[in-house]
A and B are shown apart, each in its own frame.
Chain A
Amino acid sequence: MAAEETVIDGPDILKEWVGKGRVFSKSFDQELYHEVQQFVFREARLQDIHDYDAWEDLWTDDAIYWVPANGTDTDPERDMSLIYDNRSRISLRIRQLKTGRRHSQTPPSQLARVISNFELIKSDNNDIKVMCNAQIFETNLRGDTMWASRTEYSLRHINGELKMAYKKVVLINNNKPIFTLSFLV
């Protein structure tokens, strides 16, 4: 098993930024890899075009949507996060966006995101865990903003379809002041 996996090695500050304890698979199932990628690309598109209902449908009932602040492996039960939504708060977020009076998304941000560097990581349960990088170009009334993240998903097959149980978006500059982030990241 050990030969099939690698962990992040390096100084503490790197572990703080990149995350501790993640075990990357060296071998993987080609078909699963493809399916996971297609899922994430679709999720990205739904976010880019603000298809709120279709995006909300991607979540499982026990979902966690987490965007930490000030690091990668913070404790969301102790530290402030930019977003730390359970399923009902995800739905509240969507309902707010759908009122049409969420001013910071009226007009909605114009978005295009590029997702890459997929790697499957070791999972402690039956969920499929995947990491990837994202770059998001946003333009809105304020101007143009580039966002970049390391993103981690737990995906699960439910009735033959993939669903998201967990999405963690670690913005690379989450230890700095950042502009309003009211689109779905």
Chain B
Amino acid sequence: MEQYAHSKWKKLIQPGLVHGSLYYDEEIFKEEVEKIWFRTWVYVGHVSEVPNVNDFVTKTIGPMPVLMVRDRNNEIQLLLNRCPHRGNAVCVQEKGNRARFTCPYHSWTFSNTGDLINYAFPDGYQGTDKSKLGLAKVARIAIYRGFVFGCMTEEGPTLEEHLGGAKRAIDQLCDNSPTGEIEISAGFLRHRTRANWKFILENECDGYHPGFVHSSIFSVADSAIGSLYGSDAVAVTRSFGNGHTEVDPRPEFRRRDEPLSWFGTSADRLPDYTRQMNEAYGEERARQIMIDGAPHVMIFPNLFIAEIQIFVIQPVSANESIQHSTAIQFKGAPDINRRLRQQTMGSVGPAGFLLADDTEMYERNQRGLEIRNPEYLYLKRGEHRERRDEDGFLIGHSTDDLPSREIWRHYLSIMEAQ
């Protein structure tokens, strides 16, 4: 049996070839929920979304809702919104501030630490151990630079082991804030998508498509993004292992050697921000940070940091997903924050100049797979020019399929495991 399961995945995922059923088969989707979403580290939310004691916000792990709470003791908790009695939701508000949650069905009341405080008519429960009837929690929670991740299993690598080289990208993002901290405070756009979550995942570091899918906006908005993804671009794609991938445009920005060119602006247009950066890091380091810009990294399986915004990918079923997107805000830097929001609102979400068209592509891909021949998708672009960088990470040209291949290599290793 084990042998069979093993060969099933090897047959579906071959070097540079993946089988169409991986995107539409509901059985495979169920297996992914168990093996990826409920077994490995998944991004949940950011600490700044619950800034005050007793704040809570509804988040998800895979298709499952999760309450992210800053509890009465100022600790971040990931609680499961299911009353241990008969399964009712203890909270139907999306977000708010509450020290306790009372289930509407029979009035069991829980502290925001998850503990059961009391139930109605307690003489009906003799010898019951209340401490075993609290809200369930996500087994492990870990926070890296304010990014909160959850893992539904006790065992397995730590978050830092899981992130590995991708930590550099998160650090790079936070460095772009003069306080070293980012905030997620503008609320999310939620974009419903009739496509498998992996089409979204693979698109995030696909540098082959922008010149075509986004040519409409590039041609009318005199954007410099196009030059990152031409055939003569010097930007690279990189794999950090564990399914984490990035497009690294720093070689291009270093060639331009202009602070804030990555953001389509210049230091004199953002004087307050530039001054704050110089004060925080010293002029030389600040200049380097502002030349390099923010990262473009896809942290497997669901956190995409796209320079100035984040996307959280949520799988709903084999054929449906939700993209949650919002502007990143640099804590304490109001002049750049307004631009970050304005630019994000223009680009992303259901009406965005970019994402409406990306999403159109995922949905067409998904429908395309109803045509059963050829059976496999072809992901071999740039196989011949993969190489290692000085840190030993695999890199390729910015338009290569390397990120997809590396995502699938990691996916295979997870799905093969029993």
Q: Is the interface of A mostly helix, strand, loop or mixed?
A: loop
Chain A residue contacts of B344, Cβ below 8 A:
80
Chain B residue contacts of A178, Cβ below 8 A:
190-192, 350
For residues 98 through 116 of chain A, which have their beta carbon under 8 Å from a beta carbon of chain B?
Answer: 99-104
> Does B100 lie at the interface of the complex (its beta carbon under 8 Å from any beta carbon of A)?
no
> Does A69 lie at the interface of the complex (its beta carbon under 8 Å from any beta carbon of B)?
yes
Complex-state Cα separation, A185 to B351, whole angstroms: 10
Assess whether A80 is in contact with B345, with CB atoms less than 8 Å apart.
yes
Assess whether B94 is in contact with A82, with CB atoms less than 8 Å apart.
no
Complex-state Cα separation, A177 to B192, whole angstroms: 5
Complex-state Cα separation, A79 to B95, whole angstroms: 15
Chain B residue contacts of A103, Cβ below 8 A:
213, 216, 357, 360-361
For residues 321 through 338 of chain B, which have their beta carbon under 8 Å from a beta carbon of chain A?
Answer: 322, 325-327, 338
Assess whether A99 is in contact with B341, with CB atoms less than 8 Å apart.
no
Rounded to whole Å, the gap between the CB of A159 and the closest CB of chain B is 29
> Does A6 lie at the interface of the complex (its beta carbon under 8 Å from any beta carbon of B)?
no
Assess whether B187 is in contact with A70, with CB atoms less than 8 Å apart.
yes
Complex-state Cα separation, A185 to B356, whole angstroms: 14
Rounded to whole Å, the gap between the CB of A147 and the closest CB of chain B is 11
Residues of A in contact (CB 8 Å), total 35
> Does B64 lie at the interface of the complex (its beta carbon under 8 Å from any beta carbon of A)?
no
For residues 345 through 373 of chain B, which have their beta carbon under 8 Å from a beta carbon of chain A?
Answer: 345-346, 349-351, 353, 356-357, 359-361, 363-364, 367
> Does A42 lie at the interface of the complex (its beta carbon under 8 Å from any beta carbon of B)?
no
Assess whether A96 is in contact with B216, with CB atoms less than 8 Å apart.
yes
Assess whether B351 is in contact with A79, with CB atoms less than 8 Å apart.
no
Complex-state Cα separation, A78 to B15, whole angstroms: 46
> Does A84 lie at the interface of the complex (its beta carbon under 8 Å from any beta carbon of B)?
yes
Contact stretch, chosen from A22-30, A46-54, A87-95, A130-138: A87-95
Chain A residue contacts of B192, Cβ below 8 A:
176-179
> Does B265 lie at the interface of the complex (its beta carbon under 8 Å from any beta carbon of A)?
no
> Does A182 lie at the interface of the complex (its beta carbon under 8 Å from any beta carbon of B)?
yes
> Does B270 lie at the interface of the complex (its beta carbon under 8 Å from any beta carbon of A)?
no
Contact stretch, chosen from B23-31, B78-86, B217-225, B378-386: B217-225
Assess whether B220 is in contact with A92, with CB atoms less than 8 Å apart.
yes
Q: A79-B187, A177-B191, A177-B192 are in contact. Are A84 and B360 (CB under 8 A)?
A: no
> Scoring B residues 185 to 200 as 1 if CB is less than 8 Å from chain A, else 0, what string do you get?
1111111111000000
Rounded to whole Å, the gap between the CB of A149 and the closest CB of chain B is 13
Which residues of B does A touch, CB under 8 Å? 94, 185-194, 213, 215-217, 219-221, 322, 325-327, 338, 341-342, 344-346, 349-351, 353, 356-357, 359-361, 363-364, 367
Name 11 extra pairs, CB < 8 A, besides A78-B341, A82-B189.
A70-B187, A79-B186, A80-B327, A99-B220, A103-B360, A177-B322, A179-B191, A180-B193, A182-B350, A182-B351, A182-B360
Which residues of A does B touch, CB under 8 Å? 67, 69-70, 74, 77-84, 89, 92-93, 95-96, 99-104, 141-143, 175-182, 185
4 shortest interchain CB distances as A-B pairs: A177-B190, A177-B192, A101-B216, A104-B360
